[in-house]
Chain A
């Protein structure tokens, strides 16, 4: 059971928009920054979003992040087949004194 809760799967058509939620508590999301990662099987995970809504260099602005209270959301617009991957949220948990991840969400681009 992950500390952060994500939906197991989401799907949308190419060109459409999708959002992935990440729910936590005051000891993690509520008082710390959230990051998002993209993981294609067999490859290294990639940092998409950090500090709730910042994109590292090279990440297209189709990817966005937001946070409200104890929940965070990853948005992806203009979906492409290459976006099919597992997406994870992560943050620091002040009570556990640990980095924690969500269970991951599998994105299918239909």
Chain B
């Protein structure tokens, strides 16, 4: 059974870059779509983007200019980089696995706070 675990700093300063990594265990990273989704405090789920197993990406248009998602198959990891962060980027960040339109496996989430 595939399991996902997010890792990264819990605090990022405004204007800096938020970086998170998701480690995949119990299955192959060489298939499926690999997601990043976030939930700001008190709000709903927001799709950030995903990377296909072949390396192609789709990003949320509202975040596209600041966003990079990458895949490292040798480490069974995929990563998120979000630049020029503001307080509005404070959220629980989830990684996930699924198909192009759904997430069937989720990580536990990593709270990231943007504050000086």
Contacts and interface: CB of A to CB of B under 8 A. Distances in A.
Contacts of B47: 90, 98-101
A32 interface: yes
A32 B58 contact: no
Interface stretch (B23-31, B79-87, B98-106): B98-106
B44 A98 contact: no
B101 A92 contact: yes
B61 A35 contact: no
Nearest to B58: A97
Q: Which of A39, A43, A45, A102 has the most CB of B within 10 A?
A: A45
Contacts of B44: 2, 86, 88, 101-104
B102 A35 contact: yes
Question: Dominant SS at the B interface?
Answer: strand
Contacts of A91: 101
A103 B44 CA distance: 5
A90 B106 contact: no
Contact of A50 (B94, B104, B105, B106): B104
A34 B98 CA distance: 14
Interface footprint category on B: 20 to 34
B10 interface: no
Interface string B27-64: 00000000100000000111100100000001011000
A98 B73 CA distance: 24
A7 interface: no
A33 B93 CA distance: 24
B108 A43 contact: yes
A93 B60 CA distance: 11
Given A2-B44, A101-B47, A103-B44, A90 B101 contact: yes
19 contacts: A33-B102, A44-B107, A44-B109, A45-B94, A45-B103, A46-B106, A47-B102, A50-B104, A90-B102, A91-B101, A97-B61, A98-B58, A99-B47, A99-B50, A99-B100, A99-B101, A101-B44, A101-B47, A103-B44
